């Protein structure tokens, strides 16, 4: 038998502390519940201090480690199920705090419960942690709480998170194949330059003839890389670091975002993947009773392309000045015409929420079609790329041999 220290809730409001004797943690919780209390934290006395230190290290002054998308989905899913079952918010958070699989989620639930027990609302509490939940999550929960439909809002929020994960997975899946082919091409080139071309050097030197420029260039590159082999990983890591920096540094990211929208193969993928989240958030926010300008603001937060963001910001300003939503969005020149038609129809008929839902279904289907088309186009394109590289390397090796044969 071990001694367990517990903290529990009495009469759903008073915090009590004490100790119980039990064989394991489950038995200790059962003992606390037999006392008529709701356990919020139960630790074996020998490890309780270590647990407390671990939690204190990660929660200081309201600061918590950022949850990833999967962790946010797990937290929201559990909270939504418990709320839908009629369990009060404090008890729901207690359950998550005690039973969530990941420490980050338990710590988030603990901090939220602590502040709600002190008198704060759920929406006001999560608003203190924008890095944890994001402005979209906070804004929608605020609207849901104000309208008395927080459970429904959590359900829609979970749908949005699932949608975000699904879109991210589709886009990454589409780009994985070309990324793999590019990496394979780099490996092929390095192996040929460092190990194959140097083998032919003595034979080519023995011919006593001037090498074709492509052969000479690749031969020199191969000898250089073979001699200074330690530069290869440095160049590879340097290239990866440089690419990541370009996409994370705002000035360069803005320029990249502008130019990628001019690439035919990528324009539709970028626009539809961005606006799929944009329209989905707008639909949920509008149904939750959020004013249309704030709907645009929350929806704009989901966009990852700076150029599209700036266009929506300009459209939002027009709506603030009294312009119709469909007219303002039309000025962006980026939103699909069918979506604009649906929004305009919804405004005229007074069924904007219903038409936004139809727009969500439409843009999801279009995004799937675009990804399928891109996948079919990328495969032969990548074969052409690999074939061109292999052909170039083969020509560089055999051109001197052909030249020597023809001269003889």
Domains of the chain: 2-58 (no CATH), 69-161 (1.20.81.30), 174-408 (1.20.81.30)
Q: How many CB atoms lie within 10 A of CB 43?
A: 17
pLDDT of residue 14: 63
Distances 23 to 17, 45, 74, 181 between C-alpha atoms, Å = 19, 13, 30, 57
| pLDDT recorded at residue 9 | 64
Task: Show the tokens assigned to 349.
Answer: 């008929």
Residues of the chain with pLDDT under 50: 47-62, 408
pTM to 2 decimals?
Answer: 0.69
CA distances from 80 to 77, 86, 88, 127, 340 (A): 5, 10, 11, 18, 33
CA distance 312 to 334: 9
**Residue-level pLDDT at 407:** 54
Q: Are 8 and 90 in contact (CB under 8 A)?
A: no
- Residue-level pLDDT at 157: 86
- The dihedrals phi and psi of 101, each to the nearest 5 degrees, come to -70, -30
DSSP H helical segments within 249-351, as ranges? 250-260, 264-287, 292-300, 306-320, 325-330, 337-349
Concatenated DSSP letters for 285-311?
HHHTT--HHHHHHHHHTT---HHHHHH
**What pLDDT was estimated at residue 53?**
47
CA atoms of 43 and 165, how far apart (whole Å): 35
Would you state the pLDDT for residue 378? 83
The pLDDT score that the predictor gives to residue 55 is 45
């Amino acid at each position: 038998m071990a001694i367990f220290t517990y903290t529990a809730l009495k009469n759903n409001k008073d915090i009590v502390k004490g100790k119980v004797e039990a064989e394991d943690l489950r038995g200790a919780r059962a003992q606390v519940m037999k006392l008529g209390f709701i356990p919020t934290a139960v630790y074996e006395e020998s490890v309780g201090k270590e647990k407390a230190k671990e939690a204190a290290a990660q929660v200081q002054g309201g600061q918590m480690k950022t949850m990833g998308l999967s962790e946010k989905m797990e937290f929201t899913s559990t909270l939504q199920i418990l709320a839908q079952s009629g369990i009060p918010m404090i008890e729901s958070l207690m359950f998550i705090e005690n039973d969530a699989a990941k420490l980050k989620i338990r710590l988030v639930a603990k901090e939220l419960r602590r502040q709600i027990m002190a008198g704060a609302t759920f929406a006001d509490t999560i608003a203190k942690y924008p890095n944890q939940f994001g402005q979209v999550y906070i804004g929608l929960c605020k609207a849901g709480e104000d309208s008395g439909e927080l459970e429904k809002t959590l359900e829609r929020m979970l749908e949005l998170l699932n949608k975000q994960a699904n879109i991210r997975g589709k886009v990454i899946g589409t780009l994985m194949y070309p990324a793999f082919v590019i990496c394979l091409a780099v490996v092929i080139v390095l192996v040929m330059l460092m190990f194959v071309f140097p083998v032919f050097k003595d034979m080519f030197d023995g011919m006593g003839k001037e090498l074709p420029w492509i052969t000479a260039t690749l031969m020199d590159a191969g000898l250089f890389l073979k001699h200074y082999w330690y530069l290869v990983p440095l160049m590879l890591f340097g290239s990866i670091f440089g690419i990541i920096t370009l996409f994370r540094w705002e000035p360069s990211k803005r320029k990249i975002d502008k130019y990628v929208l001019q690439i035919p193969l990528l324009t539709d993928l970028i626009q539809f993947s961005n606006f799929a989240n944009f329209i989905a958030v707008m639909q949920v926010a509008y149904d939750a009773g959020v004013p249309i300008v704030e709907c645009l603001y929350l929806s704009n937060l989901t966009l990852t392309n700076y150029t599209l963001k700036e266009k929506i910001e300009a459209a939002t300003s027009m709506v603030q000045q009294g312009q119709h939503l469909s007219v303002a969005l039309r000025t962006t020149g980026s939103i699909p015409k069918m979506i604009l038609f649906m929004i305009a129809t919804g405004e005229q008929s007074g069924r904007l929420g219903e038409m936004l839902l139809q727009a969500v279904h439409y843009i999801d289907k279009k995004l799937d079609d675009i990804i399928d088309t891109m996948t079919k186009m990328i495969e032969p394109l990548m074969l052409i790329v690999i074939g061109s590289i292999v052909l170039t390397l083969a020509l560089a090796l055999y051109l001197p041999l052909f030249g020597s044969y023809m001269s003889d």
